[in-house]
C-alpha cells in the first residue's frame, strides 16, 4: 500500500471493460508476464486478435485506442487490477478462449520455461476453468505448436 493510499484510502475506480477489451487485456498480461513487451510480442498479439471474430470490425485506430486504454489501466492500477477487471468482464466461454490463446502464445516458440508453466497453471485457476478443459486446451496447443 502506498503512502497516499494510507492517507486517502484506495479510491481507484475500476473502468468497465468490454468483452473485447477484457480479452485483449488478458492476452496482454500473458506476454507481459515477464515484465517486458517486445515489438514481436505486440505484433503477435495483434495478429492473434485480428483473426478473431470479435475483432474483425476493429480498425487499426480502434485497436490502438483499445490498447492505449488497457496500458493506461496497467500503468495506473497495476497488473493485478487489470487482470481482475478483465476477468470479471469475460463469459466462461471467452475465458476458455483466452486460456487457449495464452497457451498458444507461450508454446509458439517451442520452449516452455518453468515460469511459463507456472503462469499457465495460475491462469487456468484464476480463470476458474475446469481442469479437464484446461488440460484438453494444452494438449491441442502442444500439438499445434509441435511443428
| Domains of the chain in sequence order | 15-144 (1.10.3680)
pLDDT tens string 91-112: 888 999 999 999 998 888 888 8
Answer yes or no: are the C-beta atoms of 104 and 120 closer than 8 Å: no
Percent over 70 (pLDDT), the chain: 88
What CA–CA distance (Å, rounded) separates 146 from 139?
11
Question: Is the per-residue pLDDT at 29 higher than 80?
Answer: yes
Nearest to 86 by CA among 103, 100, 71: 71
| Positive or negative: CA dihedral 123, 142, 24, 20 | negative
Answer whether residue 140 shows pLDDT above 90. yes
pLDDT-wise least confident of 5-14, 17-26, 79-88, 108-117: 5-14
Confidence of residue 16 (pLDDT cuts 50, 70, 90): confident
Amino acid at each position: 500500500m502506498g503512502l497516499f493510499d494510507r492517507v486517502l484510502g484506495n479510491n481507484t475506480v475500476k473502468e468497465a471493460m468490454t468483452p473485447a477489451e477484457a480479452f485483449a487485456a488478458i492476452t496482454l498480461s500473458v506476454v507481459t508476464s515477464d515484465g517486458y513487451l517486445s515489438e514481436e510480442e505486440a505484433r503477435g498479439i495483434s495478429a492473434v486478435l485480428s483473426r478473431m471474430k470479435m475483432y474483425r470490425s476493429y480498425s487499426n485506430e480502434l485497436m490502438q485506442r483499445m490498447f492505449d486504454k488497457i496500458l493506461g489501466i496497467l500503468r495506473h492500477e497495476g497488473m493485478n487490477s487489470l487482470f481482475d477487471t478483465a476477468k470479471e468482464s469475460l463469459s466462461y466461454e471467452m475465458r476458455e478462449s483466452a486460456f487457449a490463446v495464452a497457451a498458444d502464445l507461450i508454446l509458439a516458440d517451442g520452449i516452455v520455461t518453468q515460469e511459463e508453466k507456472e503462469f499457465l497453471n495460475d491462469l487456468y485457476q484464476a480463470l476458474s476453468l475446469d481442469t479437464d478443459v484446461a488440460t484438453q486446451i494444452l494438449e491441442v496447443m502442444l500439438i499445434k505448436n509441435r511443428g
